[in-house]
Structure 1
Amino acid sequence: MGWLSGARQADYARRDLRVLAERLHAAGLSTSALGPAQLAGLDQHAAAVRDALTTGRGTPGVVELAAYAQGALDAAAEAGWTPETHATVPACATTEWIVLRLLAVCVLAETSADDVPDIDPLLFT
């Protein structure tokens, strides 16, 4: 039954990542609002996240991406930043970094393969 708990984790992770993307979008933070220099930075952030989670091999799964995003959100909240307070917090290198890092996680999540293969458990009964 390990596949079931893995499937449940992947479902929760996809939900968490979808909520994150919605929070960022509601705050006016999306890839479509980025200029060329910021898009290049987003690309670098995506590569850094991918490398950190996969040691340079493959694409990270949704569970790893959701955990990474939650850690980044926790650190940002300790520094006084959340997507909802983005408009009221003075812009600085730190806020730009966290925005690009979280957007990169969302981009990676869109292209991530599922952690759990799509197997029908009834095939084995």
Structure 2
Amino acid sequence: MRPGFFAEGRLARLSREFGLLGPLGDAMEPWMTAELDQHTAAVRDSIATDGGRLTRVSLSRYLDGFMDGCRERGWYSSCDGYDWETLRLLAVCRLAKEQGFVR
């Protein structure tokens, strides 16, 4: 097992749940690829701006803060499309998978 992998962590649960809502594989439409690329870059930049490296812990902390903000605004995923928050969460899932933090 890869060091840092935690099968029951927040990133794993999110990836399982949101993996059902959106494509994270190779068969994405071009607009989705572009949107996820931008969101992924924004997440990386946010973590780096805080002086951190992209690790399972830093991505989990980013996720916690992002979800706290979503809850404060009363956001919930309606599954009726890809709003900004859903795209950002899919980008977090994508990063977690690319980095080997989840399977």
Normalization by structure 1: what TM-score? 0.60
Greater relative contact order (CA < 8 Å, ≥ 6 in sequence): 2
Whichever structure has more helix as a proportion of its residues is 1
Which of 46, 50, 56 is residue 40 of structure 2 equivalent to? 46
Aligned to 1:78: 72
Q: Is there any run of 5+ residues in structure 1 with no aligned partner, and where? A: 1-6, 115-125
In percent, how many aligned pairs have the same letter?
36
Say yes or no: does 1:104 pair with 2:91. yes
Deviation sequence 1:15-74 (CA, Å, 0-9, x none): 110101112134x2333485311210110111111111124x996111111111122122
- RMSD between aligned alpha carbons? 3.1
SS of alignment partner, residue 83 of structure 2:
helix
Contact 1:24 1:30 in 2 (8 A): no
Deviation sequence 1:76-112 (CA, Å, 0-9, x none): 22333334xx237xx6xxx611111111111111233
Normalization by structure 2: what TM-score? 0.70
Q: Cα–Cα, structure 1 residues 13 and 62, in superposed 2: closer, same or farther, change >3 Å?
A: farther
Structure 1 stretches of 4+ with a deviation exceeding 6 A read none
Contact 1:17 1:109 in 2 (8 A): yes
In the aligned structure 1, how far is the partner of 2:62 from the partner of 2:8?
13
